[in-house]
């Protein structure tokens, strides 16, 4: 997704672009996650700024007629608190978000059913976030890539960088060398290996997530709904299983419930505990789901960096090389603003969102001397 | 929506079985009986409501037709086997338990709660392989096995004037049963060109022992005068609201002929149902016809210690093989528990090897003719659950960068519906190849065999899993 967005913005800025991937389109994490475009779960800071800018760009893409091709839905999010304590924490959180430009409106318990008629009774209250939206991520990546007009080389693995005089000259792939003045590393979880080729360090780690998919249902769930506990999960770096199921309907019918968060390396062994947790949380929000059939689940690995911010910007060692990776659980949402930032940095222009917090070299100083 | 079962299998409360057999078809019944007769406590877990599986499918009590008894051959064998299972005090038969996953160790996860067992025997049978063609979604078009199941289980004929088509030995008993039950079978069209097919629809056997139900039926056929043709396939089904006719042609589209009919039974062979085992991590093998089966040793052991596979899960080989393999696995598990060296008798294993060798010959004779894809129209549905037309699949492959079946699925939703790709998986694996002359990628064929949940599971059952943990 990130690579497709970079290609789109670079091409729009006038570059001729070639996109190289060892697999298919959306064959990495982008094809194994969900497509929540959320501002509601983000605390004020650089990530929220990037998310807000991205929301604008997603809306623009939709206005250009691309949205339908990837099921863009500006449906809004509803965060609900089950206890008075959760509600007051949420209220405080929402107040700080509002100062940063997020639209958030408190919804009293008795009005929640106007938003979600099938929501469980006994909820303390909630917040309505009209900016939250949703896309189908694999289609978004494929459609954006196609709209970019870039030349696409699938099934080619990048094995090396061509560098001379401290500047990049292209990439070496299993299917030959591709000359280029600029190279963007948008290899997600695998971007650390590409950074190493330049002698740089991106300490990328995987965080596993499962998503449950139900049988197709009529539209019974209107928005993205999740419990306030999610907010504390996202910022956590605890290894243990955490999850706060975001429940959402899709245009094709199935309800998606996801996603769990675990740091277990690249282990694909199904965790029926994680699936059970997601199911229990979804049933707590929407009791009618108890009787709905789950048809499948899938699992993916979010690429994250130690400070939970992506690396976006020039490499410190090799001129012409840029990194755009490590978006953890928000890479779909953040992709358009990331692409825009990369295009501006390549052109040497001022970025819309401040790029400084995303500097890739922020990890190099940790590098141990051999 | 599925109802949530509120009772956990009573018999499973707290105790652990020596062995859980999943599937009560011929293979599973034989395994359960053999294990129990050798002292083991067995859970025989079956999603349906009766013993017998596909082959011994029979109508509910009360249903009858004069011809019903002729649908089954060797029915007494079923009765003997059923008696062994039903009279054993060591077997708990758990009907209407859908197994959706198995945890190593073993914990059999069902829609009625988990069942613990020291060993597991996978006897989950097969499902049918079909390929799309224009009109295949019309009412009146059945799968070959589906038509057979309707007849055997409900005593209902799919139509009066029926065409049987596709490839593989299953077409023979299907056409024979239809004709026995009073349908006019207008022709049996075997898509692969086989010399002398009309006279000898099955390869001549060195071993005179009756190896397949089809062999017996074939004789009846001639009596019933069903025309047998090979080298011809159905390339189109026609009709406005329901099937009115089929177009039969050579795979290359020549020799087209229209046959008016009100039902079509079409199948391109069977594929092992091994999703539980693949999720568990058992090793698999790719067979010559593009199906994926579990790898087993001479005692039916899979690569995973304690886990056995019998019958169609180890590769499509028919009922005789299923019965023998069930016995072998039941005896082998018992021998393992007793720490005795005597596993299954060598004679049984030799018989199994002969049956398997014969199945391999059949498999090699009945591939899916690659030309099936030439007959698709842009609006032919490839995935019926999600209503994905061939045009959308072509767009994903040609324009959107889908180079494998997984990506086709992601971009088009093909295979994401009710059947979870059981119906369209093979077709999508073929169509993911941009070059139609290339055979499907083995990784895509494996993906078509894999499903994270073997059966849909009510969300409340999953949630119960979490509540129990607390
Ligand atoms: C369960 C789950 C749920 C999620 N839900 C959401 C959500 O709701 N909203 C959201 O915004 N985000 C979500 N995410 C996160 C999001 O999916 C990721 O942040 C995003 O997909 C990352 O995109 P990417 O382009 O950086 O990486 P990827 O999609 O992994 O792309 C990297 C690409 O690089 C290629 N590559 C790697 N190495 C090489 C090489 N040497 N040569 C050539 N190609 C190479 C790979 O093949 C791959 O295609 C979720 C993630 C998971 C796992
Ligand atoms: C639709 C169909 C019709 C067929 N008709 C004939 C025929 O007429 N003549 C012939 O010679 N061959 C027929 N076959 C081939 C048949 O598979 C074998 O001849 C024989 O029945 C194989 O025995 P088995 O025990 O391996 O599998 P099966 O007989 O298929 O038994 C498998 C059993 O496992 C159960 N099961 C599967 N998955 C689960 C799960 N997850 N949870 C719980 N239970 C589960 C099923 O309900 C079934 O009862 C047919 C196959 C199919 C698919």
What is the 3-state composition of chain A as percent helix, strand, coil, each rounded to the nearest 5? Answer: 35, 30, 35
Pair A228, A336 in one domain: no
pLDDT band for A85, please (50, 70, 90 cuts).
Answer: confident
Instruction: State both tokens at B355.
Output: 């049956």
Pair A148, A282 in one domain: no
User: According to the model, what pLDDT value does residue B12 have?
Assistant: 42
Pair A39, A52 in one domain: yes
- Tell me the DSSP string of A193-208: HHHHHTT-----EEEE
CB of A329 within 6 A of ligand 1: the answer is yes
Please, what sign has the CA dihedral across residues B289, B293, B298, B303?
positive
| Ligand 2 closest atom vs CA B28 | 25
| Distance, CA of A27 to CA of A8 (rounded, Å) | 18
Q: In this structure, which residue's CA is closest to atom 39 in ligand 2?
A: B124
CB pairs under 8 A between A and B: 135
Pair A183, A314 in one domain: yes
Mean of the per-residue pLDDT values of chain A? 92
> For the segment A155-185, what is each residue's pLDDT rounded down to a tens digit?
999 999 999 999 999 999 999 999 999 999 9
- The percentage of chain A sitting over the pLDDT mark of 70, rounded to a whole number, equals 95
Final residue before a domain boundary, out of A304, A332, A348:
A304
Pair A219, A296 in one domain: yes
Neighbouring CB atoms inside 10 A of B283's CB total 12
> For the segment A251-264, what is each residue's pLDDT rounded down to a tens digit?
889 999 988 888 88
CB of A184 within 6 A of ligand 1: the answer is no
| Distance, CA of A226 to CA of A215 (rounded, Å) | 20
Instruction: State both tokens at B340.
Output: 């005795």
Final residue before a domain boundary, out of A304, A328, A346:
A304
Closest CA to B90 of B152, B166, B155, B35: B35
Pair A319, A282 in one domain: no
Kindly tell me if the per-residue pLDDT of A76 is higher than 60.
yes
What is the mean pLDDT of each successive set of 10 residues along chain B, which is 470 residues long? 36 75 98 97 97 94 86 88 97 98 95 96 97 97 97 95 96 91 95 86 61 57 78 98 98 97 97 97 95 97 98 96 97 89 84 93 93 97 95 96 94 92 95 93 94 95 85
Please tell me which residue, B68 or A142, carries the higher pLDDT value: A142
Closest CA to A187 of A342, A22, A340: A22
CB of A275 within 6 A of ligand 1: the answer is no
| Distance, CA of B259 to CA of B241 (rounded, Å) | 17
| Distance, CA of B379 to CA of B151 (rounded, Å) | 32
Kindly determine whether residue B460 and residue A143, on different chains, have CB atoms separated by under 8 Å. no
- Tell me the DSSP string of A290-350: GGSEEEEEEEEEEEE-TTS--EEEE-SSSBTEEEEE--GGGHHHHHHHHHHHHHHHHHTPP
Q: What element of type H or E holds B445?
A: helix B442-449
Distance A269 CA to ligand 1 centre (A): 19
| Distance, CA of B359 to CA of B316 (rounded, Å) | 7
Distance B54 CA to ligand 2 centre (A): 4
Final residue before a domain boundary, out of A304, A326, A351:
A304
CA torsion B137-B142-B146-B151 (nearest 10°) is: 140
pTM: 0.92
| Distance, CA of A331 to CA of A338 (rounded, Å) | 9
Kindly determine whether residue B457 and residue A294, on different chains, have CB atoms separated by under 8 Å. yes
Distance B129 CA to ligand 2 centre (A): 13
What burial letters (b/e) apply to A11-38, b meaning 16+ CB within 10 Å? bebebebbbbbbbbbbbbbbbbbbbbbb
User: According to the model, what pLDDT value does residue A231 have?
Assistant: 60
Please, what sign has the CA dihedral across residues B55, B56, B62, B67?
positive
| Alpha-carbon distances, residue B116 vs A269, B104, B120, B330, B344 (angstroms) | 19, 10, 10, 18, 25
Closest CA to B304 of B275, B276, B283: B283
Pair A350, A214 in one domain: no
Please, what sign has the CA dihedral across residues A110, A112, A113, A114?
positive
Coil/strand/helix, residue A172:
strand
Measured between beta carbons, the chain A residues lying within 8 angstroms of B418 are: 215, 295
The alpha helices in B291-389, defined as continuous H runs, are 319-337, 346-365
Pair A220, A290 in one domain: yes
Domain CATH number, residue A322: 3.50.50.60
Measured between beta carbons, the chain B residues lying within 8 angstroms of A244 are: none
State how many domains chain A has: 2
Coil/strand/helix, residue B102:
strand
Pair A275, A223 in one domain: yes
Phi, psi (degrees; rounded to nearest 5) at B26: -55, -45
User: According to the model, what pLDDT value does residue B211 have?
Assistant: 53
User: According to the model, what pLDDT value does residue B204 have?
Assistant: 65
- Domain carrying residue A316: 2-68+137-204+307-368
Neighbouring CB atoms inside 10 A of A173's CB total 17
Pair A17, A64 in one domain: yes
B75 touches chain A (CB under 8 A): no
Smallest CA–CA distance from B276 into chain A, residue: A270
Which residues neighbour B342 within 8 Å (Cβ) at sequence distance 6 or greater? B335
User: According to the model, what pLDDT value does residue B14 have?
Assistant: 59
Q: In this structure, which residue's CA is closest to atom 20 in ligand 1?
A: A331
Own/partner long-range contacts of B102-107 (Cβ < 8 Å, ≥24 apart):
B102/B22, B102/B276, B102/B277, B102/B279, B102/B280, B103/A272, B104/B280, B104/B281, B104/B304, B106/B20, B106/B306, B106/B307
Distance B125 CA to ligand 2 centre (A): 4
| Distance, CA of B148 to CA of B470 (rounded, Å) | 47
In contact, A323 and A191? CB cutoff 8 Å: yes
Pair A159, A227 in one domain: no
Domain CATH number, residue A280: 3.30.9.10
- Tell me the DSSP string of A16-69: --EEEESSSTT-SGGGSS--EE-STT--SSHHHHHHHHHHHHHHHHHHTT-GGG
Pair A194, A318 in one domain: yes
Kindly determine whether residue B410 and residue A279, on different chains, have CB atoms separated by under 8 Å. no
User: According to the model, what pLDDT value does residue A8 have?
Assistant: 98
CA angle, residues B4, B274, A257, in degrees to nearest 5: 45
Please, what sign has the CA dihedral across residues A342, A347, A352, A355?
positive
Q: What element of type H or E holds B37?
A: helix B26-37
Which residues neighbour A92 within 8 Å (Cβ) at sequence distance 6 or greater? none
User: According to the model, what pLDDT value does residue A258 have?
Assistant: 85
């Amino acid at each position: 997704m990130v690579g497709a967005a970079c290609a789109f913005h670079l091409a729009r800025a006038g570059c001729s672009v070639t996109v190289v991937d060892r697999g298919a389109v959306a064959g990495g994490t982008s094809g194994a996650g969900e497509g929540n475009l959320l501002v509601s779960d983000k605390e004020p800071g650089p990530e929220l700024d990037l998310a807000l800018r991205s929301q604008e760009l997603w809306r623009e893409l939709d206005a250009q007629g691309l949205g339908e091709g990837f099921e863009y839905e500006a449906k809004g999010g509803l965060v609900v608190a089950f206890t008075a304590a959760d509600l007051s924490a949420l209220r405080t959180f929402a107040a700080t978000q509002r100062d940063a430009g997020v639209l958030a409106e408190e919804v009293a318990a008795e009005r929640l059913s106007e938003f979600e008629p099938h929501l469980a009774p006994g909820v303390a209250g909630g917040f309505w976030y009209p900016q939250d939206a949703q896309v189908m991520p694999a289609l978004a990546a494929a459609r954006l890539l196609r709209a970019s007009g870039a030349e696409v080389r699938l099934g080619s693995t990048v094995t090396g960088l061509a560098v001379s005089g401290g500047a990049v000259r292209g990439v070496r792939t299993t299917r030959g060398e591709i000359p280029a003045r600029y190279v963007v590393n948008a290899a997600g979880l695998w971007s650390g290996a590409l950074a190493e080729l330049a002698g740089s360090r991106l300490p990328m780690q995987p965080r596993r997530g499962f998503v449950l998919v139900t049988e197709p249902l009529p539209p019974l769930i209107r928005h993205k709904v999740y419990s306030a506990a999610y907010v504390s999960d996202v910022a956590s770096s605890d290894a243990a299983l955490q999850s706060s199921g975001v429940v959402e309907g899709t245009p094709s019918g199935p309800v998606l419930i996801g996603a769990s968060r675990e740091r277990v390396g690249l282990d694909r062994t199904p965790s029926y505990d994680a699936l059970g947790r997601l199911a229990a949380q979804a049933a707590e929000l929407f009791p009618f789901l108890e009787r709905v059939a789950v048809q499948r689940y899938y699992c993916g690995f979010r690429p994250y960096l130690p400070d939970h911010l992506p690396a976006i910007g020039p490499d410190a060692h090799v001129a012409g090389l840029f990194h755009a990776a490590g978006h953890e659980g928000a890479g779909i949402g953040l992709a358009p603003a990331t692409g825009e930032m990369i295009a501006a940095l390549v052109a040497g222009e001022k970025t819309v969102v401040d790029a400084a917090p995303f500097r890739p070299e922020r990890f190099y100083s940790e590098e141990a001397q051999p | 929506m599925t109802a949530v079962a509120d009772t956990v299998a009573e018999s499973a409360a707290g105790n652990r079985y020596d062995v859980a057999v999943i599937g009560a078809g011929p293979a599973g019944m034989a395994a359960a009986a053999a294990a129990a007769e050798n002292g083991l406590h067995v859970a025989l877990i079956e999603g349906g409501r009766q013993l017998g599986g596909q082959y011994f499918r029979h109508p509910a009590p009360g249903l009858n037709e004069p011809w019903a008894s002729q649908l089954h051959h060797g029915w007494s064998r079923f009765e003997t086997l059923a008696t062994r299972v039903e009279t054993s005090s060591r077997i708990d038969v758990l009907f209407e338990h859908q197994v959706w996953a198995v945890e190593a160790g073993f914990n059999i996860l069902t829609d009625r709660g988990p069942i613990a067992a020291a060993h597991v025997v996978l006897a989950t049978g097969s499902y049918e392989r079909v390929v799309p063609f224009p009109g295949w979604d019309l009412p009146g078009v059945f799968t070959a096995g589906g038509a057979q199941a309707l007849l055997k289980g409900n005593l209902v004929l799919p139509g009066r004037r029926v065409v049987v088509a596709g490839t593989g030995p299953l077409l023979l008993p299907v056409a024979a049963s239809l004709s026995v039950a009073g349908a006019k079978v207008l022709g049996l069209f075997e898509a692969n060109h086989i010399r002398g097919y009309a006279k000898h629809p099955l390869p001549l056997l060195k071993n005179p022992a009756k190896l397949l139900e089809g062999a017996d039926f074939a004789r009846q056929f001639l009596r019933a005068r069903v025309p047998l043709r090979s080298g011809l396939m159905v390339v189109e089904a026609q009709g406005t609201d329901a099937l009115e006719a089929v177009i039969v042609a050579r795979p290359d589209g020549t020799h087209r002929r229209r046959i008016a009919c009100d039902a079509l039974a079409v199948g391109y062979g069977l594929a092992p149902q091994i999703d539980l085992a693949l999720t568990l991590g058992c090793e698999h093998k790719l067979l010559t016809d593009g199906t994926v089966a579990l790898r087993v040793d001479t005692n039916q052991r899979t690569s995973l210690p304690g886990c056995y596979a019998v019958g169609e899960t180890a590769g499509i080989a028919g009922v005789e093989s299923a019965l023998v393999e069930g016995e072998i696995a039941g005896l082998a598990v018992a021998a393992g528990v007793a720490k005795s060296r005597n596993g299954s008798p060598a004679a049984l294993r030799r018989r199994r090897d002969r049956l398997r060798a014969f199945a391999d010959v059949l498999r090699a004779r009945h591939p899916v003719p690659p030309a099936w894809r030439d007959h698709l129209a842009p609006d032919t549905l490839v995935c019926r659950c999600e209503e994905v037309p061939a045009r959308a699949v072509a767009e994903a492959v040609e324009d959107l960068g889908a180079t494998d079946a997984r990506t086709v699925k992601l971009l088009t939703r093909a295979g994401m519906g009710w059947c979870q790709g059981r119906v369209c998986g093979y077709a999508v694996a073929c169509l993911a190849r941009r070059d139609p002359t290339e055979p499907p990628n083995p990784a895509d064929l494996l993906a078509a065999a894999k499903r994270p949940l073997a059966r849909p599971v009510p969300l409340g059952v999953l949630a119960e899993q979490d509540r129990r943990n607390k």
